[in-house]
Structure 1
Amino acid sequence: MSMNLEATRTFSIEIIQTLQAAGFQALWAGGCVRDLLLGKPSKDFDVATNATPDQVRDVFGHDRTLPIGASFGVITVQGGKRRGQVEVATFRTDLGYSDGRRPDDVRFSSAEEDAQRRDFTINGMFYDPIHKKVLDYVGGQRDLKNRLVRSIGNPYKRFEEDKLRMLRAVRFSSTFAFDLEMQTQHAVREYASHIHVVSAERIAAEMRRMLTDERRMIAVRMLRDLTLLHEILPEADSTVGHALRWSETYHSLERLPVGDFRVAMALLLRYACQDSLLNGKPLKPIYPADEVCRRWKLTNDEAKIIQWLLRYEHTIRHADQVAWPKLQRLLIADPAPLLIAMGYAVQRARDNSTVGVEHAESCLSLPEEELNPDPLLSGSDLIKAGFTPGPQFHRVLETIRDEQLEKRLNTTDEALAFAKANWE
C-alpha cells in the first residue's frame, strides 16, 4: 500500500474513533471491508455512521467538511494534502430510483437497513477497525468464502434501481475470479437492454476498469454471454458472431502484455474496423472506432491513440518487411510501445510468429542517434537556399529524411545538393 493510501486509511480510522467517542456508531463500509477480508489492498476507506450529516459536520467542523453529497447523507471530511479525504455516509434507506441511477429520496436508518440497499453481498458488510469486528447482515462472508457474486435481496429490484450494477456484477466476477450467482445472472440477461439509461461516461468508466485488469478476457466473455456486450458495443457483433474472429480476439486480450484500456479497445474493435482500414484514407477517422469513442465520450487522446493503433497494427506485426523510414516514423511516436504490445498480443493469438514485432522492438531500443537522428534540413534551410515556401516543402523534407534514414545522405551539404538536383 502506498504511503498516501496508508495515510488515508489511518485518517479513516481516526474519523471512526472520533465519531465513536462522540457517542455514534461508525464503521468501515463497502469495498474496503471486502478487500480487507480478501487480504487485498483497498483504494477507498468509506465510513458509515448513524450520525446525521449535520452531526458529522458538528463533530469535525464546517471548515474541515464538504457537504457535496449531503442530500444523500454523505459528508466529505478533509484530512489535508497528505491524508486525503474520506466520505462519511449516514446509514440510509433509498426511496425509489426513477432515473435508474440515483435515489429519488433517502431516509436515515440503521446499519442493518443500510446494508439491504447495497448492490452485492460481498459489498454489503461493515467492519469496526477499533474493535476488530465484522457486521454482516447479508451473508457477504459466506459468499466471499464460496467465491460468489450475489445480489442483495431480489436481483431484479437491485438492477431496476441502478442499471450500472449489471456491469459491476461482471467486473467483480471477472476481477476476483468469482462465479456470478445463477439468479443474478438471469436478472442481468433479462435487464441487459435497459443498460442504455446509464450515461456513456459511467459505462466507459466500468469498461476501463474491466479492460485494464489482467482478467479482461473473462470480463469480455461474460459481457458476451450475458448479452451486455451486444447492448453497449454492437460494433463487436461481427467479431462475437464469428468463431475464428472471436477466438483470436479473446486470446489476444488474454495475451496482452500491458493493462492499457486503449490497446484493449483497439483489439475489441479490430475486426469491426477492417473495411474502413482497407478502403479509408490515412488521415480519415476509422469507422466505427471513431463512433464508439464519441458515444462513450472518451478523451481526445484515447480516441486518437485507439485509431492510431488500429491503423498501424498490421504494419508492426510485419515490421521485418517494412522499409526503415516508414517503420522509424512509427517507432518514434509516443504510443509505439502500445503498438508493439498490441502486435505481440495478436501474433501470439494467431500463430505465435512474432518475428516482425520482435524486429520492431529491437529497433525501438536503438540509441537515440540511430533511432531518431536530428534532421539534416529544415524548412528555413530550404528558404535560405533559395526555395520558395509552398506545399512542396513537406514532400522535399520527407524525401530527404527518407534518404537520411537509409544512410544515403549524411550531411547538410549533401542534403541541400540532393534538394537542388531533384527540385530545381
Structure 2
Amino acid sequence: MQEAKFIVKTLVTEGYISYFVGGWVRDFLLNHPSDDIDLATSAPPEVVESLFSHTIPIGKAFGIILVIIKNKQYEVATFRRDVEYKDGRRPSKIEFSSPEIDSQRRDFTINGMFYDPIKEEIIDFVNGREDLDKKIIRCIGNPHSRIKEDRLRMIRAIRMSARFNFEIEKETKRAIIAHADELFPAVAIERIIQEITKMSQYQGFKKALIMLFEYTLLQNIFPALKKLSLDEVKEKLFLVDDFPHRAPVIVSILELFPKFNLEQKIELCRYLKLSNREIEFVTFLDLGKSYIKDENKVDGFSWSHFYSNHFFDLVIDILAVHIKAEIRKDFLHIHESRQKKLTPYIDRIKNNDPIVKSDHLKLCNIKPGILMGQLLKEAIKISINKNLLDPNKIIDELKKLKIWPKKSP
C-alpha cells in the first residue's frame, strides 16, 4: 500500500489529482484488506510514464499505464469517458475527463468510489457507500446502457452478489434478464468461465449458479438447459456446495448433465475451451465413477493405477460427496485401507519401477517388440493381483499365459 501512496503523492506533487479507485475502495469499506490497488488520475498517460522509472504502456490508448515499484504492479488510469463501444466488451473510443465523469462509466455503484489516501477521504459521486450499507448491487446510471457497453457485467453482477451476499437491485436485474441472450458469443466463453470459476471460490456457489439460471444467463451458455425448470436445476445442483473448493468448476457444471457419457463430457470441455489438464481430470473423474459403480469387478492392478494418479486425492473427495452421509466415512476408510495395502505397487507405478523388466524377459529369449510390451504389462497385473514381488515367480505365471511363446524365438 505504501508504494501506491507514493504514486499518488508523486502525481499530486506535480499538480494532478490522483485517487485509489474501484474494488480496493469497496473492500476497504467492507473491512476486507487488499493489496490489489488500482489508481486513477488527471495526469495524461505520457506524464505518468515520465514520472516513474519503470512503466509499461499496457493500455496507453485508453489512458492506462502500469507502474512498477519494488516489484509491485499498479494500474494507473487517466480519468476518462468512454465514447463508443463496438464489441460489447471494450470501448473503441475514449476522451479524458474528470473524476465525476470517470465514475459514471464504471459498472456498479459499489465499485465506482474513489479514495484519497493523503486526506484519507472517500469520494463518492454514485451513492456507492449507501448501496454498500444496504447490501445492494446496482448498475451506475442506466443499467441497459452499462450492460450494452460490457455484457460481461451481467455475470459480474451475480458474482458480486455471490461474493458479498448482496441483493441485485430490481432495475439492474430486469436489464440483465432483458439482455441475457446477448451474453454469448459477444463475450468469449473463456472470460465467462473465468468469472464462474471465481464464483466457485465463494460460499454459496450453488446459489450463484441458480441465479445464473433464474436470470437466463446459464441457458445462453448451455442451450440444452432451456428445457429444464428451476426446480429441476435446483435438484441437479443440490450437492455443489459440498464439493471441495479446489475442485475445478467443470465438476459443478457437469452436475447439470448427469447423463453425459465421457465423449460428451470431453466435448463440453472443448466447448468451454478448457485446458488439456482439465480434460485429463474429467476423464479420470469419469473413470473413478465407473470404478465406484462396479467396485467388486475392479482388480488390484486397476486400483493401483487409480491410486497412483496425481488426481486421485481430489477425485476421491469429489466422489465421496455423492455417497450418502451415513456411509461416507466407511467409503473413505475402504479406499484408505486398500490404498495402504497396495502401497508397494503404487510406489513402483509412480516411480516407473516394475518388478519384471525387459532384461528379465530378454533372458527368456523374448525380443523387444509388441510381445515384450504385452508381457511387461501382464507382469505388472500378475504382480499386483497375485501379490507377488519375486520376478521369477511372476515370470512363472507369465509362462502360463496364451501369449507366452511355446518355443522361444
Same fold (TM over 0.5): yes
- Kindly provide the CA deviation profile for residues 21-54 of structure 1, in whole angstroms up to 9, marking residues without a partner as x: 2221111101111111111133521010111111
Give SS of 1:274's match: coil
Is the contact made by 1:78 and 1:86 (CA closer than 8 Å) also made in structure 2? Answer: yes
Moved more, 324-333 or 45-54: 324-333
Match of 2:100 in 1: 112
Distance 2:224 2:360 in 1: 48
Match of 1:211 in 2: 200
Amino acid at match of 1:206: E
Distance of aligned partners of 1:78 and 1:273 in 2 relative to their CA distance in 1, 3 Å threshold: same
Distance 2:192 2:128 in 1: 26
Distance 1:68 1:24 in 2: 21
Match of 1:386 in 2: 365
Match of 1:18 in 2: 10
Q: Confirm whether residue 306 of structure 1 aligns to residue 296 of structure 2.
A: no
Match of 2:355 in 1: 376
Distance 1:298 1:33 in 2: 33
User: Aligned to 2:268, which of 285, 292, 297?
Assistant: 292
Amino acid at match of 1:336: F
Give SS of 1:224's match: helix
Distance 1:242 1:182 in 2: 20
- Kindly provide the CA deviation profile for residues 127-157 of structure 1, in whole angstroms up to 9, marking residues without a partner as x: 1122211111111111111111111111111
Give SS of 2:100's match: helix
Distance 2:313 2:387 in 1: 28
Amino acid at match of 2:10: T
Give SS of 2:316's match: helix
Q: Confirm whether residue 193 of structure 1 aligns to residue 193 of structure 2.
A: no
Distance 1:317 1:43 in 2: 47
Q: Confirm whether residue 47 of structure 1 aligns to residue 39 of structure 2.
A: yes
Match of 2:252 in 1: 267
Q: Confirm whether residue 35 of structure 1 aligns to residue 21 of structure 2.
A: no
Gapped regions of structure 2 (runs ≥ 5): none
Distance 2:203 2:285 in 1: 20
Is the contact made by 2:64 and 2:77 (CA closer than 8 Å) also made in structure 1? Answer: yes
Distance of aligned partners of 1:332 and 1:206 in 2 relative to their CA distance in 1, 3 Å threshold: same
Give SS of 2:75's match: strand
Amino acid at match of 2:327: S
Give SS of 2:322's match: helix
Amino acid at match of 2:27: D
Give SS of 1:104's match: strand
Is the contact made by 1:193 and 1:231 (CA closer than 8 Å) also made in structure 2? Answer: yes
Q: Confirm whether residue 77 of structure 1 aligns to residue 67 of structure 2.
A: yes
Moved more, 9-18 or 291-300: 291-300
Is the contact made by 2:18 and 2:116 (CA closer than 8 Å) also made in structure 1? Answer: yes
Match of 1:410 in 2: 389
Match of 1:225 in 2: 214
Q: CA deviation at 1:301?
A: 1.0
Aligned Cα root-mean-square deviation (Å):
2.4
Distance 2:157 2:392 in 1: 66
Q: CA deviation at 1:394?
A: 4.3
Distance 2:30 2:373 in 1: 59
TM-score, length-scaled by structure 2: 0.89
Give SS of 1:251's match: coil
Distance of aligned partners of 1:363 and 1:134 in 2 relative to their CA distance in 1, 3 Å threshold: farther
Distance 1:327 1:251 in 2: 29
Is the contact made by 1:213 and 1:259 (CA closer than 8 Å) also made in structure 2? Answer: no
Distance 2:393 2:121 in 1: 79
Match of 1:255 in 2: 242
Q: CA deviation at 1:68?
A: 2.1
- Kindly provide the CA deviation profile for residues 274-315 of structure 1, in whole angstroms up to 9, marking residues without a partner as x: 3524xxxxxxxx21x223322332221122212321342342
Is the contact made by 1:317 and 1:344 (CA closer than 8 Å) also made in structure 2? Answer: no
Moved more, 317-326 or 35-44: 317-326
User: Aligned to 2:331, which of 333, 341, 356?
Assistant: 356
Match of 1:68 in 2: 58
Match of 1:345 in 2: 321
Moved more, 19-28 or 292-301: 292-301
Distance 1:226 1:166 in 2: 9
Is the contact made by 1:127 and 1:135 (CA closer than 8 Å) also made in structure 2? Answer: yes
Amino acid at match of 1:198: V
Give SS of 1:337's match: helix
Match of 1:137 in 2: 125
- Larger radius of gyration between Structure 1 and Structure 2: 2
Aligned residues: 397
Q: CA deviation at 1:420?
A: 2.4
Q: CA deviation at 1:14?
A: 1.3
Gapped regions of structure 1 (runs ≥ 5): 1-8, 278-285
Distance 1:109 1:36 in 2: 25
